[in-house]
Amino acid sequence: MEFNEIVVKESPGLCRCCLSEGCYKDLGTEYTWMNETEVYADMLLECFDISITQHNEGPNGPNRLICEVCITRLRDACNFKKQVMDSEKKFIDMMGRGEFRPKMLIYQTQMKCEDPVVEQIENANVEYLEDEIEFGDDDLLKDSDSVEASVSDITVSALPIKGKRGRPRKATPVKPEKRAKVAKMEDKPKTSKAVAKENQDTEEKLIEKQRKDDLTRLITVILENSTILPFRWSANKYMCYFCCCSFIDSSKLKQHTIEEHKDAKLRNLLRTLVSRSRVKLDTSEIICKRCNRQFLSFDEFLDHLSLLHELKFKKELTDCLFTFNLSDDGMSCHDCGQEFRFFGPLLKHAHKYHNRYKTYLCEICGQGFVAKANVDSHIRNVHSFSSGQCTKCDKVFRNNYALQIHFEKTHKTEMLKCPKCPEILASKYLKKRHLALEHDDKKLQFNCDECNRVFTMKSRLVQHKLRTHLKQKTVACEICGFKVFNNDLLRRHMVRHNDTRPFECEYCKKTFQRKKTLEVHKRIHTNDRRYMCKECGRAFVQVTSWKLHMRVHHGGTEGASWH
């Protein structure tokens, strides 16, 4: 597109590098990518010596914006520049150490042959001079006697052949000092621990680079020839694999990926995005784009591409891929079939039990992790006993993680203080709930589309819709067939099939099956009448007794409440 044909609109924004429209990132703001801080304006200035001007008027106002595609190309350019500079520095260091110096063979004793003089002259590597160079009479060999006289006591060493036409130059003897130096260099062992380690590191880098290229090829073939979509998962939200936009629902993630990145140059993007961690793929719908055939199995689809369409890739690298059938109504594990309502618990389950590629194990408890950094964090938080004592109240905890939770709840009031009012909450969840309900923070709210209820957690919203609107009970008791909404309610129900009564009242020695029933029973002994009728002032121990009283004496509980 010619620049004269570009029409600039006032919203939502304009990329200053390619003039494409969209909601983009600011050039002067710090962003985090792969645990590194990036400022795109500084990267442009450092890599290309280009400074983007700033104008208060225009589509962006005072902001200077850049799109994700240009960010990827800029990141590649900076990495390539760094690679070239590192290679040049390493080459100069290798030249300084003499690693490219030609090796010379020194014969300590003269080799036996029928004609020593002829043998030396014939085996010597001759360096030729240009035809234009003129020589004096003294430089020419007179006769064979003079040749024999001049070379009889000289040990000839091999010189590199330059392959040029012309007259040969006389072989010059090697100086004793240089001969000793070369011999010393030859006597030094060629392999040492440092050289072996350097060679091993180089070999590992080459293997890793080849693995990354093969994995990029595999994912490119899959995405270009099917409806399979890659994605990420961070902070309990789905993320677009290409631009890192976050979504709560998997359906919105799929719609965004199909609409925004359908024309993406996959091979160039994947080369920079593929890392050591396993790539997550959504295989809820597998349709071959070449023949429009639909598949239910991911392995069956790969065999189809290899046999029918003759595409070349390494199928064994599928161990580096995680496949999921994303759905907002629940999903199951591909390996064992265990069902999950949300993706977070499913991902933890897959990492713990079905991670076949480079599983890093904790040496203390044997738990598996996808990366070494996760193992280090696990050991530091769970198995470390170095600093288990609180410096504020001298309480002792079994590990640093428990100490950190105690410190945040008890002493770190700044983290639990509401930023919009003076109130201090008891936990992070209560702070989040307070911001969502009291200050109407839309980012922390999950609204029910059937009624006006608002929740601060998506799991609570899903449970509310299943219970209140869908009346769906999916968990059944194996003994009596009684159905409940979730496993927690099933555990409470299973008490009915158990004759044990482990909870005993300390006043009357009466036993109960549930702890909650015991606590309600104790109110009789302590005269705890917390439910009081506002109409007549009568108090009750249990809320059920209060409701019965309201229905009998005051015409129902609608609009009524207790003190």
- Rounded Cα–Cα distance for residues 82 and 222 (Å): 31
CA angle 307/308/313 to nearest 5° reads: 50
DSSP 215: H
Structure tokens at 191: 């392999």
The response to whether 533 counts as a known ligand-binding position is: no
Instruction: Identify the three-state secondary structure at position 351.
Output: helix
Structure tokens at 379: 């050991």
| Residue 216 and residue 274 in contact, taking contact as beta carbons nearer than 8 Å | yes
Q: How far apart are the first and last CA of the chain?
A: 72
Structure tokens at 229: 């979509």
- Rounded Cα–Cα distance for residues 424 and 409 (Å): 11
Q: Which amino acid is at 423?
A: E
Q: How many CB atoms lie within 10 A of CB 240?
A: 19
- Rounded Cα–Cα distance for residues 264 and 257 (Å): 10
The response to whether 70 counts as a known ligand-binding position is: yes
The response to whether 15 counts as a known ligand-binding position is: yes
The response to whether 477 counts as a known ligand-binding position is: no
- Rounded Cα–Cα distance for residues 267 and 218 (Å): 10
- Rounded Cα–Cα distance for residues 387 and 389 (Å): 6
3-state per-residue secondary structure call for 26-84: ECCCCEEECCEEECHHHHHHHHHCCCCCCCCCCCCCCCCEECHHHHHHHHHHHHHHHHH
Binding-site residue set: 15, 18, 67, 70
Binding-site residue set for Zn(2+): 15, 18, 67, 70
